[in-house]
Structure 1
Amino acid sequence: MTDPAFSAQDALVALMITVSASDATIRTSELLTIQAIVNHLPIFAGYDEDRMEQVAQTVFDLLEEEDGLDAIFGLVRGALPDTHHETAYALACDVAAADGNVLQSELQLLRELRYELNIDPLHAAAIERGARARHLPL
C-alpha cells in the first residue's frame, strides 16, 4: 500500500498526519499547524502542497490495516535520511502539542516514534520541551 514515490517531504507530512489522527480526532489546530509548517519551513521549499491530500489518504488507508502504523514508520524511515530523524520527531511533537493538550494516544505514538527513529533520549526531551514552549498558551 505504501507509495515508493514518496519523497522525504511526503514522509514528514505523513508522519504529521499520523500524529494528528492518533487520537481518532483530527483537530483544526493540528491541521493549521501542519499547513503552517509546510508553508514556512525550509525543509518544505518547493513541495507541491497538492500532494498533501494524496499523502493523507495513504495514511488513512494504512491506519485501517492491522500493521498500518508499522508501514507508516517504514515509509518514513525509507524516505527520510537519518540526518533528518530529529526533524521528523520535532515536527511530530509540534503537531501533538498544537491543540495545547497532548493525549495519551499521542504520547504513545511519540514514544514509538522515538524508538523507530532511534532518537537519543536527551535530544527527545529537548525537542519535546521546545514544542511545549512553542505551543504554551498565556
Structure 2
Amino acid sequence: MNETTHAMSPQDCLVAVMVAISASDETIRTSELLKIQTAVSTLPVFEAYDGDRIRTVSQLVFELFDQEDGLDALFGLVRENLPERLNETAYALACDVAAADGALAETELRLLEEMRYELNIDRLHAAAIERGARARHLRA
C-alpha cells in the first residue's frame, strides 16, 4: 500500500477528495457512493481511469483518517500529485458529493472549508462552485 501512497495519479487524487468528503461525517451514504461512481464513469477527466482503483484509493483515505495527522497527509498527497489546474475540479467534485444526500453536516462544511484553503480556491470561485452544486442537488 505504501507504493500506492507515492504513486497517486491526478484521478486518484480526485477520487480521494470525493471519498474524504463522503467519509467526513463518518457515514458514507449510498447517494454519495453513486455520485462518486457516476463521476468516475462519465466525466472526461476520468476518461482513461480504471474504476477498480476507487476501492484502493478509498482504503488509503480510510487508513489516513485513522491516523492523527491523516488529513494533513491526504492534502500533502493531493498537493504533490494533483496538477493545480485540477484544483477547482477537485473542489467541485467534493461539493457535488457533499450535496448528494441533500444535507451538509458540520463536519462536511469544515472539510470543504479546509479543502478551499488547501487547494487554494479563491473565495468567489468557491462560492460559484458551491452554488452550482446546491442548484444541481435541490429537491422539488
Do they fold alike, i.e. is TM over 0.5? Answer: yes
TM-score for the superposition, normalised by structure 2: 0.96
Aligned mates of 1:137, 1:74 — CA distance in 2? 36
TM-score for the superposition, normalised by structure 1: 0.98
SS in structure 1 at match of 2:5: coil
Match of 1:124 in 2: 126
Match of 1:42 in 2: 44
SS in structure 2 at match of 1:112: helix
Aligned residues: 138
Aligned mates of 2:79, 2:132 — CA distance in 1? 23
Superposition deviation, residue 4 in structure 1: 1.1
Identity %: 66
> Counterpart amino acid of 2:93?
L
> Counterpart amino acid of 1:97?
A
Find 2:56's aligned residue among 51, 54, 57. Answer: 54
Superposition deviation, residue 108 in structure 1: 0.1
Query: Alpha-carbon deviations, 1:39-63, whole Å to 9, x = none?
Result: 0000000100111111010000000
Aligned mates of 2:7, 2:114 — CA distance in 1? 25
Aligned mates of 2:124, 2:108 — CA distance in 1? 19
SS in structure 1 at match of 2:139: coil
Aligned mates of 1:65, 1:106 — CA distance in 2? 18
Find 1:29's aligned residue among 28, 31, 38. Answer: 31
> Counterpart amino acid of 2:56?
Q
Deviation >6 Å, runs of 4+? none
Query: Alpha-carbon deviations, 1:11-30, whole Å to 9, x = none?
Result: 10011000000000000000
Match of 2:79 in 1: 77
Superposition deviation, residue 77 in structure 1: 1.1
Superposition deviation, residue 3 in structure 1: 1.1
Task: Give unmatched runs, 5+ long, in structure 2.
Answer: none
Aligned mates of 1:43, 1:94 — CA distance in 2? 15
Aligned mates of 2:21, 2:138 — CA distance in 1? 18
